[in-house]
Amino acid sequence: MSDFDGTKHGFLFACTNKTEKECFERLLFGTERAYGPVVIRIKKGDLLFLNNLSTNVLYGVFRAVSDGKYNIQPDSWSGKYPYQVKVDVLGKPIALENAKIILKKIDMGRYTILSGKKLIELLDCFMPDNLLFNTTQNPNDREPFRIIMAEKDGIRKNKNVGPIFEVPPIEATTFWDFLRQGYGSTNKGNNKYPGVTPALIIYNLIWRYTDPEDLVVDPMCGSGTTIDVCKEEMREVKGYDISPVRSDIIQNDARKIPLENNSVDMIFIDSPYGDNVKYNDHPEDIGKISSETEKFYDELEKVMQECHRILKEGKILGWLIGDQWVKNKFTHVGFKIYDRLCRYFEPVDIICVARRGQSSHTGLWFNRARRFNFYLRGFKYLIIMRKTSEKESRKSRKVEWTNYERVKK
């Protein structure tokens, strides 16, 4: 990242007339969790810009004097903007009118991270190369321009392209369709592992429901996708599997998780969907039990009970599951898992995740599905559940059922 290879990146923050004063007084920029994935990628020395949305002014140029972090000053903006970075000003702040037009021209949004030519283009708006100094000008007034000029030279000279900074936005709807298994410049799990999870499912869950350093657990973590995503996004993580394929995965049966009650901030599970995939030779692999039998759901219910025990009150469990159609028989695995989960948790939402990269998604199978009148699986369910607090669940049990008299014949 920028600390190591000298590559500077540029980041955009926003404020309003209500919040601007605090940004300048504290020399601190802050934002909500929705932009957390951008903020945690800021490194000391990166360049920052501040857009006042009320006045359409763009302030620059600032330099990060800390890495981007969660809660540097918890009392700032009454705790509303906990993703923060400490800044200083290059000389003194320069205010540019028509921020919207400038940002549109260089195609910069809140999820954009600028580097190289694009960053120079934005710096040009503050200090064009052909700016002529007035010899009568106070040298202090020239200072910010000199510093910006030096920054531009530094960026031009640096031949490193730097890491590929991809910050996927947080999904807004209940339909998720990811074209690739991974994201960013490093592998997330192993895309050759049978039933590997799309990394952006986990990315979206942890950015919606946790903050950096929270503990995330995956009791059936396969090739370790959850571990890799959590490390990149700065969460604590523990990954277990009945048959580990990497040294950082702990061998364990998900029906008994070696963690204390109420100790985990989020759980993600992409469980077997039946016995259609061979994961390993371990006799306790639940993926050896057919989802056409009740035993499959009974065993997974034991996993659900364990998840409920280790999860902190009010925290989230995300369970990915798909239906099955085998030999002319449809099994609604998703609804059955949902039903069992509801015995322990309160439903938050259900996401429809498009299935991509399926071995059955070929011309031959598409043709068969049409000719023999069946459907290939096109989506999975991501069931999002919350562990309710004791108080809440007592409240919800107060529901008064209406008892209807049986009609006597």
**Residues at the site binding ligand SAM, with contacts judged by CB under 6 A:** 189, 193, 195-197, 219-223, 225, 241-243, 253-255, 270-272, 279-280, 284-287
31, containing H or E segment: strand 28-31
Residue 86 token pair: 């400490």
Nearer to ligand SAM, 76 or 226 (CB): 226
Residue 162 token pair: 């730097």
Contact 279, 243 (CB under 8 A): yes
Nearer to ligand SAM, 103 or 227 (CB): 227
Comparing CA positions, the residue from 228, 258, 260, 261 lying closest to residue 245 is 228
For the CB of residue 273, give the shortest distance to ligand SAM in the complex, in Å.
Answer: 8
For the CB of residue 171, give the shortest distance to ligand SAM in the complex, in Å.
Answer: 18
Contact 294, 371 (CB under 8 A): no
Nearer to ligand SAM, 242 or 385 (CB): 242
Q: How many CB atoms lie within 10 A of CB 256?
A: 10
For the CB of residue 343, give the shortest distance to ligand SAM in the complex, in Å.
Answer: 19
Nearer to ligand SAM, 141 or 284 (CB): 284
For the CB of residue 304, give the shortest distance to ligand SAM in the complex, in Å.
Answer: 13
Looking up tokens 């031009």 gives 156
**How far apart are the C-alpha atoms of 35 and 188, rounded to whole Å?**
21
Residue 104 token pair: 């549109």
Contact 26, 73 (CB under 8 A): yes
Closest chain position to ligand SAM (CB): 222
Chain centroid offset of residue 223 CA: 19
For the CB of residue 24, give the shortest distance to ligand SAM in the complex, in Å.
Answer: 45
Looking up tokens 């490093």 gives 186
Contact 278, 326 (CB under 8 A): no
**How far apart are the C-alpha atoms of 172 and 398, rounded to whole Å?**
33
For the CB of residue 224, give the shortest distance to ligand SAM in the complex, in Å.
Answer: 6
Nearer to ligand SAM, 190 or 388 (CB): 190
Distances (CA, A) of 213 to 30, 237, 267, 367: 18, 9, 14, 48
Nearer to ligand SAM, 225 or 324 (CB): 225
Local structure of residue 176 (DSSP, 8 states): E
For the CB of residue 33, give the shortest distance to ligand SAM in the complex, in Å.
Answer: 24
Nearer to ligand SAM, 42 or 221 (CB): 221
Nearer to ligand SAM, 281 or 400 (CB): 281
For the CB of residue 163, give the shortest distance to ligand SAM in the complex, in Å.
Answer: 23
